[in-house]
Chain A
Amino acid sequence: GAGVSQSPSNKVTEKGKDVELRCDPISGHTALYWYRQSLGQGLEFLIYFQGNSAPDKSGLPSDRFSAERTGGSVSTLTIQRTQQEDSAVYLCASRPGGSGHGYTFGSGTRLTVV
C-alpha cells in the first residue's frame, strides 16, 4: 500500500487479557519499528526489525511484550496479561534499508486497558 497500515485503530481490553496489534509496512521496506506514546508523553522506542537480522528488543518494557515479523513484512506486537499502564498509542514505522531514508509512521493503535 501507499503507507504504513496499523490495525485495529482502537482497542479496548480488560486488564489481564492478551492483545495483538498488527502493522503492515510499506512494501519493500526492510526496517520496521514499534513505538508507544502514553497520553501527554513522548515516543518510546520498543523494538526494531531489520531484514533477517535478530531484532533489537532493547526498548521492550517487560517480558509481557513481544513482537514478530513474518516473511520480512507484516509485524505483530503482542502484549500478554495487559495492565492499565499499557494504555497508550502504539505506533509502527518502516523505512527502506540503507542510510539516508526517512521513516514513515502509521496512524497508530490506541489501546485502552480497563
Chain B
Amino acid sequence: DAKTTQPTSMDCAEGRAANLPCNHSTISGNEYVYWYRQIHSQGPQYIIHGLKNNETNEMASLIITEDRKSSTLILPHATLRDTAVYYCIGLIYNQGGKLIFGQGTELSVKP
C-alpha cells in the first residue's frame, strides 16, 4: 500500500470549507484512497473513498489529481463537530484489504 503524507495539523474557521491534503506519490493503479476520521474517544468513522474519479457524498468531497499522486478531502461547511484527526489511507483489496493508519491530520475547527 502507498505511503501517504499529511500535514500534522490544520485550523479552519467554523462555516468555512476545510481542505485537507494528502500526498500518495507511490500509489498503484488498483489502490483506492480512503478517508477516515476519529473524533476524540470514538472509533474511526468512514468518510469517503475513491479510485480515479472525484467523489461526493453527504459528508464530504474527494478530489483526486489526474496523476493520482495526491488528493484533497473537502468538508464544505466545517462545524465544531468536525474537529477530529483525519486519516488518508491507500488500500489494495487483493492484498487483504487491511487499513494501515498513519498519524493523520488533526483538524481544529474554531468559532
Q: Which residue of B lies closest to A91 (CB)?
A: B43
Cβ proximity bits B37-73 to A, threshold 8 Å, 1 near / 0 not = 0100011111001000000000000000000000000
Is the Cβ of B32 less than 8 Å from the Cβ of A43? Answer: no
Is the Cβ of B96 less than 8 Å from the Cβ of A108? Answer: no
**Of B45, B49, B102, the contact of A105 (CB 8 Å cutoff):** B45
Interface size class of A (residues with CB under 8 A): 20 to 34
**Does chain B have a CB within 8 A of A70?**
no
**Smallest CB separation, B88 vs chain A (Å):** 13
Whether A45 touches B97, Cβ cut-off 8 Å, given contacts A102-B49, A103-B46, A105-B45, is: no
A52 and B42 CA atoms in complex are apart in Å by 30
A19 and B98 CA atoms in complex are apart in Å by 25
Is the Cβ of B42 less than 8 Å from the Cβ of A45? Answer: no
**Smallest CB separation, B93 vs chain A (Å):** 4
Is the Cβ of B49 less than 8 Å from the Cβ of A50? Answer: no
Is the Cβ of B46 less than 8 Å from the Cβ of A107? Answer: no
**Does chain B have a CB within 8 A of A31?**
yes
Chain A residues positioned under 8 Å from B42 (CB to CB): 107
Is the Cβ of B96 less than 8 Å from the Cβ of A48? Answer: yes
**Does chain B have a CB within 8 A of A65?**
no
Which positions 83-114 of chain A face chain B at CB distance < 8 Å? 91, 93, 95, 98-100, 102-108
Chain B interface residues (CB < 8 Å from chain A) = 32, 34, 36, 38, 42-46, 49, 93, 96-104
Chain A interface residues (CB < 8 Å from chain B) = 4, 31, 33, 35, 42-45, 48, 50, 56, 91, 93, 95, 98-100, 102-108
A102-B49, A103-B99 given; name 17 further pairs at CB < 8 Å. Answer: A31-B97, A33-B99, A35-B101, A42-B101, A43-B44, A45-B100, A50-B96, A56-B96, A93-B43, A93-B99, A95-B97, A99-B97, A100-B49, A102-B34, A103-B36, A103-B44, A108-B43
